[in-house]
Structure 1
Amino acid sequence: MLYTIHQEAERFYLSHRAGSWVSDYLTARGINETIQQDWRIGYAPNRWTLLTDHLRYLGFPDSAIERSGLAYESRRGGLIDTFRDRAMLPIARLDSTTIAFIGRSRDGEPKYLNSPETLIYRKGSVLFGLDRVRHGVRPVLVEGPLDAIAVTIAAPAEFAGVGLCGTALTPRQADALAQISDQKAVIALDGDRAGLVAAVRAYEVLDADAVRFPDGHDPADLLRSGELGTALRHQAQPLADLVIDAAINRWSGSLHFAEGTIGAMRDAAAVIVRLRPHDVARQVDRVATRLSLRCDEVTEAVTDLVAPPLVTVEFPRVPAPGGTSVPTKGRRHDERIRTPRRPTW
């Protein structure tokens, strides 16, 4: 029943797009009417119970409407619509069946409002636009649904945008990407601090390249200026570069002091020991170059973190003439033994 409710809700939202602010707003952002129809973008009217009343008219009980996440019980009692006065973008399974929505506000907060989790929708398991990724096309992971559409518009034969649905990238989402596409993914999140943090976290679950846009710009902005396709083709770098740069940049105000340089090297080394093996050599070289150090100095900092802690070995004491005790032959009882371990790369 939840699938049917979402199908009817999608039809309802589509029927209300004409005459709303949505069409002109999206057209101004480079998403024309044809593209809006292709992505099945609708509009949720600015009314408290219009969708709920429509679903009731179709015969759906209040209990099912509430379970769908498209309405919730108000403080005064009774159901009210979850989405009001928003552009509505459907989230679909791989077979294009709608299972949830993302509502985009024109000027209110929150900018994006996602359906709550339901029996058919788990935010950490799906990605907006994943059903449109095709073999041979590189998936580009972006923050919001309009960014995903912008990426696909910019170069449909090369890239397909997929959105995070309001969550950090999860292993389940990374697995879904790997099953759909044989191409290495690209992380293309916003150029602000939140976008950088999200990109750094994504490295933990996804081996990808990255494109970082200028502060204050997102893919939809670059689509309007005609620069998005060029940025995706020519500005991609290993995601590990962003991860290491983020560690060093925390010391950017003190790199002209020896203490700052050493602190940055140690922080970078702490990240390098957690990188994938094929990323390590490149990042050791990059850290050395950026901090004006020798590669062997950075390598030593990394190796020190790989080695286990020092262990103190106590030796038994035996009686000696005169009633005193002395250590048995071998290492002194206070000698510390370091057992180095080879780096994993």
Structure 2
Amino acid sequence: MLIAIHQQAERFFRARYDDSWVPAYLEDRGFDASTQRTWQAGYAPNDWRALTRHLRALGFGDTAIEASGLARRTARGMLVDFFRDRAMLPIKEPDGTTIAFIGRSHDGDPKYLNSPRTPLYTKGTALFGVHALTLNSTPVITEGPLDSIAVTTASTGSLAGIAPCGTALTPDHVATLRAATNLRKVLIAFDGDRAGNEAAIRAYTLFKHVCTADAVVFPADQDPASVLRDAGPAALTQLLHSQTRPLADLVTDATIEPWLRSLQYAEGRLNALRSAGKAIATMAPRDVARQVARVAARLNFDHATVTETTTDSLTSRLAIGDFPLPPTIGGTTPTPSGRRRSERPPRGPTP
């Protein structure tokens, strides 16, 4: 029933697309008419009950319509449309079944509105664009659906843009990817700002034991959709293939950043070394050698010293069972147990 409702809603949005502001808006963002059709873009009318009336006319009851997340109850008990005056993009399962929608406003707030949780759809599991994955394409994790479309469109099959739906990446998202494709490598292509960089660093923990993970380094305040709009598909494709670096590099650099102003002093270099060693100790084995070499070169220590610091940190964590997440830039990150990194559990009384 809920799948059928989403199918009818998708047709409804598509039927109102041509006479809306959506085609011109997406064209201005760099997506031609063919791309818009491929991604089945539509429009939710600026009407409180247009979709609800349409679904009722098709024979769907109010209970099912509300359960679909496409309508909600007001304080007075009236059933009204969840999406109004928005460009609509369907969220699909890997097999192409539509299970939810993302609505993009023209200039209002919030910019993006996702379907609420339903029996079909959970934000922490669903990924926009996952249906475009093939066994031979590399997933590129982006921040938003237009970035995802930009990546897939520009790369013509070698890369597939994937976006979480209004939430941070979760282990369940990774499981969704693994079920949809032969996951050997993933690219993280978040926005080229501080928040995007921090999100990319957090993603390392999710992928480090699953596959190789690289980061696409965008210029400041740019993202895949803006590069497509400003420079075209060829420029975006070149950037996605050439401006990459191991995601572990970003994790290591983030641990050194708080000490940058004191690296001219021995104490500052030692603090940076200890911080980097702790991060390297949590990394996948394939990433360790490169990060030891990078830290040695950047902080002017020999490889043996960096290796020893990393080993000491690993031994300490094994002793107390503490394996914190990689740090965010300029701050600490909660450990899986919820403690802050600085909050070590007591070792117990000394005999």
TM bucket, shorter chain: 0.7 to 0.9
Tell me if 1:190 matches 2:211: no
Question: Alignment partner for residue 248 of structure 2, among 231, 234, 240?
Answer: 240
- Partner Cα distance (2:130, 2:61) in 1: 31
Report what 1:159 is aligned to. Answer: 159
Instruction: Give the conservation status (yes or no) of the 8 Å contact 2:278–2:314.
Output: no
How far apart are residue 125 of structure 1 and its match? 1.9
Against the structure 1 CA distance between its residues 84 and 251, is the aligned structure 2 distance closer, same or farther, given a 3 Å change threshold? farther
SS across alignment from 1:104:
strand
Q: Which residue of 2 aligns with 1:276?
A: 284
- Shift of residue 128, structure 1, vs aligned partner: 0.8
> Number of paired residues?
312
SS at match of 2:87: strand
TM score, norm. by length of structure 1: 0.86
Q: What amino acid does structure 2 have at the position aligned with 1:187?
A: I
Letter in 1 for 2:53: D
Once the two structures are superposed, what CA deviation does each residue of 1:191-232 show, in whole Å capped at 9, x if it has no partner?
112211221111111131111211210101111213210111
Deviations 1:11-48 (A, max 9, x none): 11111111211111110111111111111010111121
Alignment of 1:106-145 (within 5 A): 106-145=106-145
Percent of aligned pairs with the same amino acid: 53
The residue matched to 1:307 in structure 2 has which SS? helix
Where does structure 2 lack aligned partners over 5 or more consecutive residues? 320-349
- Secondary structure of the corresponding residue to residue 40 of structure 1: coil
Q: For the residues of structure 2 that align with 1:46 and 1:9, how far apart are their CA atoms?
A: 15
Task: Report deviation, 1:73.
Answer: 1.2
Q: 2:311 aligns with which of 286, 303, 307?
A: 303
Aligned to 1:215: 220
Alpha-carbon separation, structure 2, partners of 1:262 and 1:78? 64
Partner of 2:65: 65
CA distance in structure 2 between the aligned counterparts of 1:307 and 1:97, rounded to whole angstroms:
48
- The more displaced of 11-20 and 177-186 is 177-186
Cα offsets for 1:93-116 (capped at 9, x unmatched) = 122110000111122222111111
RMSD: 1.9
Please show how residues 249-328 of structure 1 align to structure 2 within 5 Å.
249-308=257-316
Q: Deviation of residue 120 (structure 1)?
A: 0.8
Structure 1 position 4, deviation (Å) = 0.8
SS at the partner of 2:267?
helix
Aligned match of 1:88: 88
Could you say if the C-alpha distance between residues 255 and 86 of structure 1 is closer, same or farther in structure 2, counting changes exceeding 3 Å? Answer: farther
Q: Distance in 1 between matches of 2:258 and 2:63?
A: 51
d(CA) in 1 for partners of 2:261 and 2:63? 57
Shift of 1:68: 0.7
| CA distance in 1 between partners of 2:175 and 2:265 (Å) | 44
The residue that corresponds to 2:6 in the other structure is 6
Whichever of the two has the greater Rg, that structure is 1
Instruction: Give per-residue Cα distances to partners, 1:209-256, cap 9 Å, x unaligned.
Output: 111211210101111213210111111211111111122223333333
SS of structure 1 residue aligned to 2:206:
coil
Secondary structure of 1:18 counterpart: coil
What amino acid sits opposite 1:195 in the alignment? G
AA partner of residue 73 (structure 1): R
Alpha-carbon distance between aligned partners in 1 of 2:240 and 2:299, rounded to the nearest angstrom: 28
> What is the CA distance between 1:53 and its match in structure 2?
1.6
User: 3-state SS of the aligned residue for 2:72?
Assistant: strand
Secondary structure, aligned partner of 1:203: helix
Instruction: Single out whichever of 148-157 and 75-84 deviates more from structure 2.
Output: 75-84
Alignment of 1:74-85 (within 5 A): 74-85=74-85
Q: TM-score, with normalisation over the residues of structure 2?
A: 0.84
AA aligned to 1:51 is L
